[in-house]
Structure 1
């Protein structure tokens, strides 16, 4: 699988190029166009979900194919290349396209420790290949050295690798907080590693 992007960062579109028989998952409402002959089928139980819409599996024909995907709201598209050695925690509303070679690790222990029994605003992915992310604004990055610290608000957080340490805390212990949306919370990160953020507030951009 290869990814080409265009119209970024304001109205990004991701063209996914597939080898013969290769497949990807995405929400059906995000498919803009595809080469004739690409087949589709509902994802099995436990497949990636985009918002409240179950994912569809798209498979290339015997001679390969392509598909164009566009986020439901304006913004950037960003292919996050997973190399197999390190997993990534990603905002639960950010995944646009997932290749079959990348796993969604439901119940990943460090996120369970971070959020407890609640369903938080992050999901974990591992494997190899480009996981295509959608962001409501241009994607930016904090390159953290060993022990370097940064604090990010959840509404702007896009993704970070397993090499980065993180801590979730309340901005105001007496105020309202939501583990699902990140409202009222902050995330402290310690390097080494890269923390990806978006330049627009995700929650307000979707209002």
Structure 2
């Protein structure tokens, strides 16, 4: 599978050339264009195995709690080689990385764009990390082996942490991180008790943060979708009136 990422970091497009018989899986609705030799098949997301009910429950939890769509689309070059173009919903970038049997990745909801067929996309219980990250208790987990394509709002920045190195990321800027890294999710640090830290978070514009401990890679996005939505709302009087109950 040959691919090229173009038009980044604001309007990134993933272009692929598939040989006959090759397949790629992608987020439902990500297809921009494709050759007539390619065929589309949509199925419920989640790991294979566990029977229909198990896959249905996994897909439903993904849809309701993980921020991802209920379905994954499988695109196959069934009638000969062909060209495929994929894009995320939001303005932003696309980044590729390799997943192998020894390296699983945890993705924030909405970050999955596409993957080779050897990569399994599933929900992983995120506990309070998922809840505090604003994405509900479920996050996406990429296992298996193959190329994974992640999408972001804004550009994607990767930082590789050394063993024992600690690094803080605002939850709204998180894209993905390697499973097994040390992780503590909390409100923005500040002096004083719980209430004072709450006030500091509200007045500073910063909220919940994720503190990672290396080794391992962390991917971040340069824009925060929730903050951007709030900025847009403040520019539109009708939306401000609606939110204030007027």
Same fold, TM-score > 0.5, yes or no:
yes
For 1:74 and 1:107, how far apart are their aligned partners in 2?
A: 26
Aligned residue number for residue 114 of structure 2: 97
Structure 2: gaps (5+ residues): 45-55, 200-205, 231-246
C-alpha RMSD over aligned residues? 2.7
Change (3 A) 1:199 1:132: same
**1:150-189 to 2 correspondence within 5 Å?**
150-171=167-188, 173-174=194-195, 175=198, 184-189=207-212
Counterpart of 1:55 in 2: which secondary structure? strand
TM-score normalised by length of structure 2: 0.70
Deviation at 1:65, TM superposition (A): 2.6
Aligned residue number for residue 10 of structure 1: 10
Instruction: Give the helix-richer structure, 1 or 2.
Output: 2
Aligned residues of 1:160 and 1:195 also touching (Cα < 8 A): yes
Deviation at 1:114, TM superposition (A): 4.3
Aligned residue number for residue 195 of structure 1: 218
For 1:82 and 1:106, how far apart are their aligned partners in 2?
A: 16
Aligned residues of 2:181 and 2:214 also touching (Cα < 8 A): yes
Aligned residues of 1:25 and 1:43 also touching (Cα < 8 A): no
Between 118-127 and 148-157, the greater mean CA deviation after superposition? 118-127
Change (3 A) 1:52 1:28: closer
For 1:84 and 1:146, how far apart are their aligned partners in 2?
A: 21
For 1:87 and 1:160, how far apart are their aligned partners in 2?
A: 9
Kindly indicate whether residue 31 of structure 2 is the aligned counterpart of residue 31 of structure 1: yes
Structure 1: gaps (5+ residues): 177-182
For 1:15 and 1:34, how far apart are their aligned partners in 2?
A: 10
The aligned length equals: 198
For 1:53 and 1:67, how far apart are their aligned partners in 2?
A: 22
Change (3 A) 1:18 1:5: same
Residues 173-193 of structure 1: CA deviation (Å, up to 9, x unaligned): 5559xxxxxx94211100111
Aligned residues of 1:21 and 1:61 also touching (Cα < 8 A): yes
Aligned residues of 1:153 and 1:186 also touching (Cα < 8 A): yes
Instruction: Give the strand-richer structure, 1 or 2.
Output: 1
Aligned residues of 1:90 and 1:124 also touching (Cα < 8 A): yes
The structure with the largest alpha-carbon Rg is 2
Residues 88-120 of structure 1: CA deviation (Å, up to 9, x unaligned): 011111111132211123345xx347458x933
